């Protein structure tokens, strides 16, 4: 029979290492170089995640407030148009018993004139009311 050592494609060798030659300070230093940056990255990640959560919550709150303010502005514009309408004014005169009545014919006249600006250009037409 053949020898098993002759047919093997690998062989065992003894590798000796002398750990006494490697200083403990070097090992500690190498561990610190790896561990401290890893801890710093982990802490930075956690801090960034918590900051992101806080900012997302604040943004959601601000968006809700903005939507509420937009609705309020829309409602106020509708209310303003209601108060500007002639029907509201007439009903308010009746409600508050102001005893207002339309002017007599010829009591109020509308005078149209053009307002000119200081640079010589013609401006808007202005309507004036004049009492007699």
* Spatial CA neighbour of 55 closest among 15, 107, 47: 47
Whether residue 64 is predicted with pLDDT greater than 80 in this model: the reply is yes
**From 54-63, 69-78, 111-120, the region with the lowest mean pLDDT:** 111-120
Mean pLDDT over 82-90 rounds to: 85
Choice between 37 and 97, residue whose per-residue pLDDT is larger: 37
Provide DSSP, the chain: ---HHHH-S---------TTTS-HHHHHHHHHHHHHHHHHHHHHHHHHHHHHHHHHHHHHHHHHHHHHHHHHHHHHHHHHHHHHSHHHHHHHHHHTT----PPPTTTEEEEEEEEE-TTS-EEEEEEEEEE-
Q: What is the mean pLDDT of residues 75-101?
A: 85
Stretch 117-129: mean pLDDT, rounded? Answer: 55
């Amino acid at each position: 029979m053949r020898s098993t050592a002759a047919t093997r494609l690998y062989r065992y060798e003894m590798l000796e290492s002398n750990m006494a030659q490697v200083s403990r300070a070097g090992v500690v230093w190498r561990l610190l170089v790896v561990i401290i940056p890893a801890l710093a990255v982990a802490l930075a990640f956690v801090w960034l995640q918590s900051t992101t959560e806080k900012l997302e919550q604040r943004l959601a709150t601000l968006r809700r407030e903005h939507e509420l303010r937009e609705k309020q502005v829309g409602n106020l514009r509708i209310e303003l148009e209601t108060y500007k309408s002639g029907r509201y004014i007439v009903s308010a005169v009746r409600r508050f018993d102001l005893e207002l009545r339309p002017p007599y014919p010829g009591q109020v006249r509308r005078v149209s004139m053009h307002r000119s600006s200081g640079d010589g250009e013609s401006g808007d037409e202005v309507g004036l009311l004049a009492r007699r």
